[in-house]
């Protein structure tokens, strides 16, 4: 039997120990990367209108939970099985971060629609309660013939002031989304942050703030961190997508690590909606989203 000296023995032992640590490390990484939605700083909400689009709606929520996302968001509540969504999200332990209560048409920017707007908000608040959801998106509307942009904005203020007491009483925040007109929403009356900030400050309610979509803001004005600092008192919710392409972070020109850190440093702890299209597949997109939360 060949003799083994101390150096040979120690070297072999170290190699075995190293291999064991490597195996454990790889297993840990595999476990962590199988749920990339669990991130250390930012709480992301997968938009189930744009992710897993080939699956039935409820299965999209299941997939979001499977990847570790703490929340989902979606567009109009009308036409959806609210009871089923409420039960499933509760069973899965996943939140509904926000949904759309009032879309592009009819326009909030036209006074003739304000009665219907108020009625819809009254209807949508119990839906939010059922979903254990605290925020609902409202949209200003497309350009109205014969109205200036200033007039349309004043009409939005008037409509929001009428709905604000309802939102306050029901403890549901209305989040006004500002769009971009260069790429996605030509003819829409509200774009960029200054007008949205001015409108919400004029309304003056703790329950009327901005759905601050960083994708739209990048296209409309850029200077994402600077604008965010200037209007942070009116931020109710954040959404993101990279540009160009409206896909996940890491596929375009926006350095989301810096932008998300800015939001975090400013004190934002709410959900960040992933209103973006996965460029390749959802797992790859989720891992790119997780990479944007590293700083």
pLDDT digits (tens, 9 = 90+) for 23-32: 443 344 344 5
273 CB-near residues (< 8 Å, 6+ apart): 44, 45, 47, 73, 97, 98, 237, 238, 239, 240
Mean pLDDT score, 247-263: 98
In 50-113, where does DSSP find H-type helix? 57-66, 82-92
Predicted pLDDT of residue 32: 54
**Class (C level, CATH) for 36-291:** alpha beta
Contact present, 145 and 109 (Cβ < 8 Å)? no
Among 212, 217, 202, 209, which Cα is nearest to 154's? 202
Please report, for the chain, the start and end positions of each structural domain, with discontinuous segments joined by +. 1-33, 36-291
Average pLDDT, the chain: 92
Q: What is the pLDDT of residues 152-180, one digit of tens each?
A: 999 999 999 999 999 999 999 999 999 99
DSSP 8-state symbol, 188:
B
Q: What is the pLDDT of residues 270-293, one digit of tens each?
A: 999 999 999 999 999 999 999 999
Helix axes 149-170, 114-130, angle to 10 degrees: 40
Contact present, 87 and 58 (Cβ < 8 Å)? no
Predicted pLDDT of residue 131: 98
């Amino acid at each position: 039997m060949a003799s083994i000296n101390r150096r040979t023995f120690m070297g072999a032992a170290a190699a075995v120990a190293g291999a064991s640590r490597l195996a454990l490390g790889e297993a840990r990484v595999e476990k962590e990367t199988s749920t990339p939605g669990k991130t250390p700083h930012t709480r992301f909400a997968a938009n189930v209108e744009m992710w897993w689009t080939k699956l039935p709606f409820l299965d999209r929520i299941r997939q979001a939970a499977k990847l570790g996302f703490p929340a989902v968001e979606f567009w109009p509540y009308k036409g959806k099985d609210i009871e089923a969504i409420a039960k499933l999200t509760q069973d899965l332990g996943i939140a509904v971060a926000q949904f759309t209560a009032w879309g592009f048409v009819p326009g909030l920017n036209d006074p003739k629609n304000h009665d219907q707007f108020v009625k819809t908000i009254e209807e949508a608040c119990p839906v939010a309660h059922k979903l254990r959801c605290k925020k609902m998106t409202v949209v200003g509307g497309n350009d109205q013939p014969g109205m200036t942009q200033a007039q349309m904005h004043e009409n939005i203020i008037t409509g929001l002031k009428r709905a604000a007491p309802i939102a306050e009483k029901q403890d549901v925040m209305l989040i006004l989304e500002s769009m971009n007109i260069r790429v996605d929403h030509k003819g829409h009356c509200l774009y960029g942050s200054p007008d949205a900030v001015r409108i919400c400050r004029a309304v003056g309610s703790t329950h009327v703030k901005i759905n601050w979509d960083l994708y739209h803001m990048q296209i409309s004005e850029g200077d994402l961190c600077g604008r965010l600092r200037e209007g942070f008192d009116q931020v109710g919710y954040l959404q993101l997508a990279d540009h160009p392409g409206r896909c996940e972070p890491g596929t375009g020109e926006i350095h989301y690590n810096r932008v998300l850190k800015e939001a975090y440093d400013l004190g934002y702890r709410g959900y960040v909606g992933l209103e973006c299209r996965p460029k390749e597949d959802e797992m790859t997109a989720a891992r790119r989203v997780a990479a944007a939360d590293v700083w």
